[in-house]
Structure 1
Amino acid sequence: MLPAQLLAQSGDTGESETEPADPVIIVTGEGLAETPATPAYATQIIERDRLVSTGSGRIEDALSSVAGFQQFRRSDSRSANPSAQGVTLRALGGNASSRAAVLLDGVPMADPFFGFIPFTAIAPERLASARVTRGGGSGPFGAGALAGTIELTSADAATLGRFGGHAYVNDRGETEAAAHLAGDLGEGFGVVSGRWDRGKGFFTTPEADRVSATARARFDSYSLQARGVAPLTDTVELQARVLVYDDRRTLRFDGADSSSSGQDASLRLIGRGDWQFDALAYLQARNFTNVVISSTRFVPVLDQRNTPSTGIGGKFEIRPPVGDRKVLRIGTDYRSSDGELYEVALSAFTGNVTERRNAGGTNTDLGVFVEDDLLLGPLTLTAGARLDRYTIRNGFFAATDANGVTLREFAYDDRAGWEESFRGGFVFEAGGGFRLRGAAYTGLRLPTLNELYRPFVVFPVTTNANAALDNERLEGFEAGIDFRPDETVDLSLTAFDNRVVGAIANVTLDRVTRQRQNIDRIRARGIEGSAGLGFGALRFDGSIAYTDAEARQTGADFDGNRPAQTPQWAGSATLSYRFGQRGLLAATLRHVGKQFEDDLETDILPAATTIDAFAELPLTRMVSLVLRGENLTDEDVVTRNQGGSIDYAAPRTVWAGIKLGM
């Protein structure tokens, strides 16, 4: 939105010329507007109403309404190990690292060491919207947006109201509480918000397999965020955000505790004048701990006691005035990821230290990009190029015995190089509400420090790191048609063919050993469809994806298999009814097709269909009763199956509580 300038006017009444009116300053707290060619890439927007009306209250659940979105495992952020929360789109997965970029107000949220997304730190009630772009390459979003980009935008004070919050409890006695305060900061605004989730959890282990050491998936997490937005001039605004979070979980056995914590800060300048610009700088301090418990003796065998990491980065984009028929974007971005792991291996028989390990390194990426949209009546063309200078350096691994004697020590050679990426497409407004679009693109993702240097164990399988991993490259194209004759109808269909060359996968070496390796490619071809239909107060939103994905490696046992953890079919359908100013009833049907635990397709994760529900019933002008239901049919959703050792996702769960708002 551009601020309007009221100009002085002269009259002939004999009075003096009027004084210039003060500029009208409009503060949004958002980034620059999308460009005319944004729809060339398969884009789906989730509005605030849908973000805050899921059965679970989790952001990952809301994002799952876009078919093709998936985490590495089916568990949500209360019962999964945090390091398994990588995000991908279009079945381009195969390991736990994120192949899609998740941005919060322009800031990449991926953990600097692991690449996972700290979902517990992202409270849906703080957001205005989420824009999900499947495919599309890296473009102006930075290296890492391989499978797509998820752009989360914080809500402003007007959307949130002066104060608000909620307190819910479920049928297991678990609680979810959140609150915010918002107010004016001069001609801008400030928001302080917090959320706290805790509970005893549920048993992920099937009842027949439980032992005395079996534990519920306990969780205890909080996040605090302060955000301020203030105008510096009538066209320039400053945005500042600080986020602090801590997340603690237990998985499967007593003592199998993990933690994920972070302190993030960012500053952003947005210019909406003739020369539009977006200048962003951020700093992230993160940590992760994890204790591995033996599945046979039920004692600690590995204490990943400390994994500190730091992310530093920024972006500068400028859009010069080049006429009404063009939008030119020129910019650069930078990210440095630095981290180490400190872990202790313990004897399952004596409890004594058998090995102390220390490993880590630094990855950097400096990119420059240019993108140009050209408007030719009903046709919009777009083309862009990106050049990245990356480094993988200071990599090392060291292991000593309990007395400090070196057992193994490696200092890996530094690496650096240049990678180019391109993307382009078109949007054609065909009339009658029809829009045709097509795009082709390439992209880049560096291996994470976790993939390069940290082995991990999910008993009985050990997955080894690989310091020689190369970058992943995306090559893809797509074509689609949209039908939007009015605000009540929004239909979309996309066909795509994407491949990740040099994809990093967890490759099986023997029954209990895997290693991260670059394989020839992962290829995913499929069709995505979405529908939004409004019938007055009644609305239907649905999304479905069919993906034929395969991992290719000549001569390998997995050649031609579907990548691990990737379904062929995924779909979601929500029927909602809105009444009054705040009343809402909604039910969501979600289906995820059969998946395989590993690359050899030996262990199956069966298809699962779940039903969730949400109801907000206003009691007064400021108070509502909220009822939520997760997995109401109590479906057994298998999230892990390793040789018959199984974990389940959340069972049927019913929530009730009060929501306040002004």
Structure 2
Amino acid sequence: MTCRWLLSVVAASLLSLFAAPGSSAQSPREIHGQVVDATGAPVAGAKILLGGVEQSKTDAEGRFAITVSSTNAPLTAVFGGLHASVPSPTGTDLHLVLIPATIDQSATVTATRSSVEMGIVAATVETLSSTKLYEYPALTLDERLRQHAGFELFRRSSSWVANPTSEGISLRGLGSTAASRTLVLSDLVPLNDGFGGWIHWNEQPPETIDAITLASGGGSDLYGSSALGGVIDIVPSRPGTVLASADIAGASEDTSNYSGRADLRHESTSALVAGQSFRTAGYTIVAPAIRGKVDVPSNGHYQNGRVELARTLPREGRAWLTGNLLNEDHGNGTPIQTNGTRLWRYIAGDDWKAGSHVDGRVRGYGSNEGYRQSFSSINAARSTENITRLQRVRTQEFGVSTDAAYHFEHVALIAGGDLRDLRATDFETPYSAGAPTGIQDTSARQRFYGGFGEIVAEHHGWSGALSLRGDEAANLDTNAIVRSGTKPQTLTRTPDRHEAVLSPRLGISKQLPARFELHASVFRAFRTPTMNELYRTGQVGQQTTLANSALLSERATGIEGGAHWTSPRSLAALQATYFWTEINRPVSTVFQSGTATSTTLLRENLGQIQSQGAALGAQLQPGHGLSLDFGYQYAHAVVTAFQPQQTLVGLWIPQVPRHTATGQLRYHHGPGSFTLAARQSGRAFDDSANTFELHTFFVLDAYAEYRVHSHISAYLSFQNLLNRSIETARTPNLTLGTPFLAQGGVRLNWGRN
């Protein structure tokens, strides 16, 4: 009922937007203001554009004055690669702070799949700049994203010690399993693992990331499968002028981290080379009270590399080729339990423009991946360990993606399509008493293709977007070969399955006086089960999860509505968003059997889950180099229907806390900077029956950096300063998150800000 009511309100509002009269009897008025950089210094010579047309330039004090007639087009300040925008200037005295254009525009690109700016985006979008990512006390990218309230990996641990199969993302309290219910992109290319749906957080060297945009709420209307909880867009750093940078760091737990980047440019051609090497002895993840002889530190190492060759084209076009390599090995806390990944990814892209009103993007991409994992059984005293299974997975991926936008002064039309083809083979060798007992090999193929259309418009402070996408998801060519002991080999063919899905979305926003903004949206989204969920048995700790080839796709319906306020000089900003998402047929794990030392689960479609709550945010800039960021999420996430086990109805979704809160205090003064970060997570449960409780935790981290020379900076970072215990899982044995960790390093920069 609520969803239908909101849909009617949103539809009526959007119709009124297009039905509004084409002209207004407003008299011309003067708008003046000042343009400053991130330090507050005035910027002279910045271009002032209204609706994309240059009106003026700032004077020596960064000030400007223009006359505005009846139009309410966006006002933009541009200087070099910096950018600031006001969707619909209602005041007469503006204060514009320039930031890198790629960072500011990434929010629009992620939310609308275009660079067209048509008023306020009707979505909850947060962009973390490279500065916020670098100056956050963390070792890996997923840890840096925890400054966004509500972001968490499936098992509350970090990718530098976690099993990759537990690195799915939870946003909006929707939880995850091995697969992520959030789609991760980089430059329109999906990064979710083609076989398992988890994320390879260590795939890119940190110097190659300009910013990260988190768009919460369903995104299947533009991006297709997996975008139930939202879309995370990793904005890559492009090759620039001649530069070089390096980061050399060491940390406790016998950890080392080295990374670097070099750029070259000659006329219209540029190149980038970057890489990283990380190694840690890790820590013992099993709780001290139950550790035994088999428990060893969960160690790991990874190396990654990136090469990009780019060429600028006429009419602001650009074409490029990118290659990426990841080599990763993990010890999962015992001598036998290990895993490794080797991933090659390649991307070809073209950004083009045809005149002043048409632009578009084309991407071709692919990947080859090898993944291996070993499993074991451990006795009750945790003194002996026996191998139970070896797995090797080979995955190949190929995809094409394209979109184009045709924009007028107040309306833009956007359309595009995607094709993604995945082929994988899972080789499994069961063991008993230390000897192989047969084979269980499964080969399969998944194919996704879809297209979308979108209308984006703005008029007199109103803006809106209406989009619709159609997808076909197919499971094809599934063959299972099984041989047990001396029995004859059997071949089982699974019939092909095809599924067609429509994903609509409707959103509206309104710019109000006194710098208030309102937004509301309603959407449908979906996620197709991965080949890992359909065909592969997995194990984390002593918890074994069985595959289920009969799983159906998850379907979500959601609504969001919120408000945003910014103070006159952008010294403070407040956001509040209500969200409600209902997922039918969610894939979860249901208890099958258990002992004192192990638990067996089965992947099943639960019936229905629901997450509703609120997300709050505040940003304060009192001056003198001080800034504060706060975030809070309340998520009431429960099972609302499951016919086979009625006892699950009303229980919490696994690994989803009701309350999460984050806060960062940042201080910049001259050559020095300091960040104090806090994170609080409420209690959660590790299983669908809500038997294994994970207690609440509070973590305090700190980061400090000082520029000792124009090209050299030194930094210190401390995680979990209070050395609190973070319960990550009970499988059924309790495992813990990152203990106190100290890191120190030096950054070298030539030609890079």
Question: What interval of TM-score do these two structures reach, taking the shorter chain for normalisation?
Answer: over 0.9
Alignment of 1:563 with 2:653, yes or no, is yes
2: distance between equivalents of 1:25 and 1:483? 28
Alignment partner for residue 337 of structure 1, among 422, 433, 436? 422
2: distance between equivalents of 1:184 and 1:5? 30
Gaps of 5+ in 1: 7-23
Is 1:75–1:649's contact at 8 Å kept on the other side of the alignment?
A: yes
Is 1:41–1:136's contact at 8 Å kept on the other side of the alignment?
A: no
Alignment of 1:547 with 2:635, yes or no, is yes
1: distance between equivalents of 2:171 and 2:228? 9
2: distance between equivalents of 1:187 and 1:234? 13
Alignment partner for residue 513 of structure 1, among 600, 615, 632? 600
Is 2:133–2:144's contact at 8 Å kept on the other side of the alignment?
A: yes
1: distance between equivalents of 2:129 and 2:563? 21
Find the counterpart in structure 2 of residue 256 from structure 1. Answer: 337
Find the counterpart in structure 1 of residue 392 from structure 2. Answer: 306
Alignment of 1:653 with 2:741, yes or no, is yes
Find the counterpart in structure 2 of residue 44 from structure 1. Answer: 126
Is 1:506–1:516's contact at 8 Å kept on the other side of the alignment?
A: yes
Find the counterpart in structure 2 of residue 596 from structure 1. Answer: 685
Find the counterpart in structure 2 of residue 12 from structure 1. Answer: none
1: distance between equivalents of 2:297 and 2:53? 60
Alignment of 1:384 with 2:467, yes or no, is yes
1:173-252 equivalences under 5 Å are 173-252=254-333
Find the counterpart in structure 1 of residue 73 from structure 2. Answer: none
2: distance between equivalents of 1:642 and 1:5? 60
Find the counterpart in structure 1 of residue 676 from structure 2. Answer: 587
Is 2:336–2:387's contact at 8 Å kept on the other side of the alignment?
A: no
Alignment partner for residue 577 of structure 1, among 667, 670, 693? 667
Gaps of 5+ in 2: 1-46, 55-78, 83-100
1:428-443 equivalences under 5 Å are 428-443=510-525
Change (3 A) 1:302 1:232: farther
* SS across alignment from 1:140: helix
Find the counterpart in structure 2 of residue 17 from structure 1. Answer: none
Letter of the 2:249 partner, please give it.
Y
Is 2:242–2:265's contact at 8 Å kept on the other side of the alignment?
A: no
Change (3 A) 1:38 1:421: farther
* SS across alignment from 1:201: strand
1:307-322 equivalences under 5 Å are 307-321=393-407
1: distance between equivalents of 2:507 and 2:589? 34
Is 1:623–1:660's contact at 8 Å kept on the other side of the alignment?
A: yes
Find the counterpart in structure 1 of residue 617 from structure 2. Answer: 530
Shift of 1:208: 2.8
Letter of the 1:628 partner, please give it.
S
1:421-432 equivalences under 5 Å are 421-432=503-514
Letter of the 2:663 partner, please give it.
A
Letter of the 1:613 partner, please give it.
A
1: distance between equivalents of 2:672 and 2:482? 59
Shift of 1:181: 0.4
2: distance between equivalents of 1:639 and 1:613? 22
* SS across alignment from 1:522: strand
Letter of the 2:385 partner, please give it.
V
- Structure 2 length-normalised TM: 0.81
2: distance between equivalents of 1:277 and 1:93? 34
Shift of 1:185: 4.2
Shift of 1:38: 6.5
Is 2:636–2:658's contact at 8 Å kept on the other side of the alignment?
A: yes
Residues 483-508 of structure 1 show CA distances to partners (whole Å, capped at 9, x for unaligned) of 12343322111001111111111112
2: distance between equivalents of 1:337 and 1:55? 36
1: distance between equivalents of 2:144 and 2:118? 26
Shift of 1:189: 2.9
1: distance between equivalents of 2:706 and 2:127? 26
Alignment partner for residue 412 of structure 1, among 483, 494, 498? 494
2: distance between equivalents of 1:243 and 1:96? 23
Residues 146-195 of structure 1 show CA distances to partners (whole Å, capped at 9, x for unaligned) of 1100011012345x970111111113331011111012143253221111
Change (3 A) 1:583 1:501: same
Shift of 1:82: 0.6
Shift of 1:317: 0.5
> How many percent identity over aligned positions?
21
Change (3 A) 1:57 1:431: farther
RMSD between aligned residues: 2.3
Find the counterpart in structure 2 of residue 14 from structure 1. Answer: none
Find the counterpart in structure 2 of residue 607 from structure 1. Answer: 696
Is 2:121–2:463's contact at 8 Å kept on the other side of the alignment?
A: no
Shift of 1:404: 7.2
Alignment of 1:267 with 2:353, yes or no, is no
2: distance between equivalents of 1:94 and 1:59? 19
Residues 505-551 of structure 1 show CA distances to partners (whole Å, capped at 9, x for unaligned) of 11123333321111221100000011111122001112110000011
2: distance between equivalents of 1:461 and 1:556? 23
Residues 409-434 of structure 1 show CA distances to partners (whole Å, capped at 9, x for unaligned) of 43211011311110011010002111
Residues 253-311 of structure 1 show CA distances to partners (whole Å, capped at 9, x for unaligned) of 11211112200001111124431111111101112111112222643423434101112
1:326-405 equivalences under 5 Å are 326-347=411-432, 350-402=433-485, 405=488
Change (3 A) 1:166 1:345: same
The farther-off stretch of 421-430 and 41-50 is 41-50
The farther-off stretch of 135-144 and 33-42 is 33-42
Alignment partner for residue 138 of structure 2, among 47, 56, 62? 56
Letter of the 1:382 partner, please give it.
A
* SS across alignment from 1:120: coil
2: distance between equivalents of 1:114 and 1:304? 17
1: distance between equivalents of 2:120 and 2:479? 42
Residues 197-242 of structure 1 show CA distances to partners (whole Å, capped at 9, x for unaligned) of 1011111122232222211011110110112332121331113211
Letter of the 2:659 partner, please give it.
W
Find the counterpart in structure 1 of residue 373 from structure 2. Answer: 290
Shift of 1:25: 12
Letter of the 1:319 partner, please give it.
A
